[in-house]
């Protein structure tokens, strides 16, 4: 029961923040993808950099449960392509459809229904597709720590890399909003 | 345009928002584990099929990994809808629209077309997510936070493909007129 309250509370907080940054607005998401608005991508990338550093801190005091997903070169890549087409077309990703539907956006309700259909179809085909697409190129639960041999170094590399991306997005994307911010 | 540029931007500044989001992400890691949202769809389906077709659910591998609706996973996505609802009701400035202006410029104001497209897009994002094992949150954000190669790899490809797709679909419209 505690878990349900924790999940509900976390979801409300998460949904609230992503609505306030505008990630539930498909129009703003399309502008992000068109490199006309830098705020959402750099918000996401910076959040990951901060979370990675924070999680390293939590782990050092023995808090937190980790479960990194495996990397399948073919399946993860192909899945990302399919996902990217859907994301670019609608401006919604799985999490934002819930928040946007809650906000009252009807197109998100349809994205949610389509999502249920997509998940149901994949679940139905799981036994067929996983052995063909996922398993042959499954490299296991590899992380940057495996690559660099040291967790502190890996966290530093990730935080620096994502930090640079945050900066790069700010440079490469157009700056329509800057004058509005002042 | 001049007038529009002077309008107050209704959204939060991205830097404090990123700090807020990572605070929530860390809270989730500490109290539950890696956050995920595409699993919430599977959780809801599991609840439905457990009632409608219990034999089917028992035979399908994909439903064995994910708990039904009485779980953190489903409470989280339900909470997201609640968070969106509260946020939408408490902001007078952020527009709630189900026809994005850029879409209207490209495909017209027909709702049926927009809803059919988001249904199809939703289908694609969840099919992809379930194949990879996670979505923007469950794989890119929580994976990269855990330094997982899968999360970084997935993140790079989804951004690249979504940017390309958006450019192919909306690129011309966005160039022609300065759509805010």
Chain A environment of B105 (Cβ under 8 Å): none
Query: What is this model's ipTM?
Result: 0.95
Return the number of CB contacts < 8 Å for A and B. 504
Task: Identify the three-state secondary structure at position B100.
Answer: coil
Query: Whole-angstrom Cα distance, residue A118 to residue A101?
Result: 17
Residue B92 confidence class, pLDDT cut points 50, 70, 90: confident
Render pLDDT for A102-130 as a digit per residue (tens, 0 to 9): 999 999 999 999 999 999 999 999 999 99
Any domain includes B1: no
Same domain, B89 and B116: no
Report CB contact under 8 Å: B141, A113: no
Residue B166 has pLDDT above 60, yes or no: yes
Task: Out of B96, B128, B159, pick the residue that ends a domain.
Answer: B96
Angle at A17 between CA A16 and CA A18, to 5 degrees: 95
Residue B1 confidence class, pLDDT cut points 50, 70, 90: very low
Angle at A117 between CA A116 and CA A121, to 5 degrees: 115
Report CB contact under 8 Å: A16, B86: yes
Into how many domains does chain B fold?
Answer: 2
Chain B environment of A126 (Cβ under 8 Å): 60-62, 130
pLDDT of residue A176: 58
Any domain includes B53: yes
Going by C-beta distance under 8 Å and a sequence separation of 6 or more, which residues neighbour residue A60?
none
Same domain, B51 and B108: no
Any domain includes B39: yes
Angle at B83 between CA B80 and CA B89, to 5 degrees: 140
Any domain includes B162: yes
Nearest by CB to residue B29, choosing from A24, A34, A55, is: A55
Distance from CA of A24 to the nearest CA of B (A): 8
Report CB contact under 8 Å: B153, A77: yes
Any domain includes B73: yes
Render pLDDT for B13-34 as a digit per residue (tens, 0 to 9): 999 999 999 999 999 999 999 9
Nearest by CB to residue A10, choosing from B14, B28, B100, is: B28
DSSP letters, A8-50, are HHHHHHHHHHHHHHTTT-HHHHHHHHTTSB-HHHHHHHHHHHH
Distance from CA of B20 to the nearest CA of A (A): 7
Same domain, B83 and B45: yes
Chain A environment of B152 (Cβ under 8 Å): 144, 158
Query: Whole-angstrom Cα distance, residue B170 to residue B180?
Result: 13
Nearest by CB to residue A48, choosing from B30, B83, B144, is: B144
Any domain includes B4: no
pLDDT of residue B5: 52
Same domain, B13 and B70: yes
Same domain, B76 and B49: yes
Chain A environment of B44 (Cβ under 8 Å): 116
Helix-, strand-, coil-residue percentages of chain A, each rounded to 5 = 80, 5, 20
The count of other CB atoms within 10 Å of the CB of residue B24 is 24
Q: List chain A pLDDT tens, one digit each, 182 residues.
A: 899 999 999 999 999 999 999 999 999 999 999 999 999 999 999 999 999 999 999 999 999 999 999 999 999 999 999 999 999 999 999 999 999 999 999 999 999 999 999 999 999 999 999 999 999 999 999 999 999 999 999 999 999 999 999 999 999 998 655 544 43
Report CB contact under 8 Å: A33, B140: no
Query: Whole-angstrom Cα distance, residue A46 to residue B147?
Result: 14
pLDDT of residue A179: 47
Most A CBs within 10 Å: which of B21, B86, B112, as the mutation test of the A interface?
B21
Report CB contact under 8 Å: B79, A126: no
Average pLDDT, chain B: 93
Query: Whole-angstrom Cα distance, residue A133 to residue A75?
Result: 5
Residue B2 has pLDDT above 50, yes or no: no
Q: Compare all CA atoms of chain B with the CA of A157 and give the residue at the minimum distance.
A: B147
Residue B178 confidence class, pLDDT cut points 50, 70, 90: low
Same domain, B127 and B73: no
Same domain, B113 and B166: yes
Report CB contact under 8 Å: B77, A95: yes
Any domain includes B180: no
Q: Compare all CA atoms of chain A with the CA of B107 and give the residue at the minimum distance.
A: A89
Same domain, B142 and B171: yes
Distance from CA of B49 to the nearest CA of A (A): 10
pLDDT of residue B174: 84
Report CB contact under 8 Å: B123, A44: no
Task: Out of B67, B96, B125, pick the residue that ends a domain.
Answer: B96
Residue B49 confidence class, pLDDT cut points 50, 70, 90: very high
Same domain, B121 and B169: yes
- Give the pTM: 0.94
Residue A37 β-bridge partners: A175
Same domain, B92 and B152: no
Task: Out of B96, B121, B139, pick the residue that ends a domain.
Answer: B96
Any domain includes B68: yes
pLDDT of residue B180: 56
Same domain, B107 and B163: yes
List the structure tokens of B30. Answer: 């500490």
Same domain, B145 and B124: yes
| Residue B29, domain extent | 9-96
């Amino acid at each position: 029961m505690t878990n349900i309250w924790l999940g509900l509370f976390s979801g409300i907080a998460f949904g609230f923040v992503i609505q306030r940054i505008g990630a539930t607005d498909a129009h703003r998401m399309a502008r992000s993808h068109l490199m006309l608005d830098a705020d959402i991508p750099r918000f996401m990338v910076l959040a990951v950099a901060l979370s990675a550093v924070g999680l390293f801190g939590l782990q050092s005091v023995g808090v937190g449960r980790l479960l990194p997903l495996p990397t399948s070169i073919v399946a993860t890549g192909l899945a990302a392509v399919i996902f990217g087409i859907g994301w670019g077309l609608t401006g919604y990703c799985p999490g934002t459809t819930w928040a946007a539907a809650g906000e009252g956006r009807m197109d998100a309700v349809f994205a949610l229904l389509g999502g249920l259909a997509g998940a149901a179809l994949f679940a139905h085909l799981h036994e067929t597709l996983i052995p063909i697409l996922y398993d042959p190129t499954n490299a296991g639960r590899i992380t940057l720590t495996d690559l660099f041999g040291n967790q502190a170094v890996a966290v530093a590399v990730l935080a620096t890399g994502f930090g640079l991306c945050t900066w790069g997005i700010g440079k490469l994307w157009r700056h329509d909003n800057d004058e509005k911010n002042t | 345009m001049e007038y529009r540029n002077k309008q107050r931007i209704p959204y939060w500044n991205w830097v404090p928002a990123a700090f807020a989001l990572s605070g929530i992400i860390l809270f989730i890691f500490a109290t539950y584990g890696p956050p995920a949202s595409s699993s919430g769809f599977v959780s809801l389906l599991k609840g439905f099929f457990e009632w409608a077709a219990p034999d089917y659910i028992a035979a399908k591998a994909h439903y064995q990994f994910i708990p039904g609706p009485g779980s953190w996973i489903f409470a989280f996505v339900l909470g997201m809808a609640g968070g969106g609802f509260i946020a939408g009701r408490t902001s007078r400035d952020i527009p709630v629209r189900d026809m994005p202006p850029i879409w209207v410029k490209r495909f017209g104001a027909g709702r049926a077309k927009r809803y059919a497209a988001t249904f199809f897009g939703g289908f694609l994002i969840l099919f992809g997510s379930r194949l990879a094992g996670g979505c923007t949150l469950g794989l890119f954000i929580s994976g990269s936070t855990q330094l997982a190669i899968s999360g970084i790899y997935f993140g790079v490809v989804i951004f690249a493909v979504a940017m390309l797709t958006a450019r192919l679909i909306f690129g011309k419209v966005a160039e022609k007129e300065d759509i805010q």
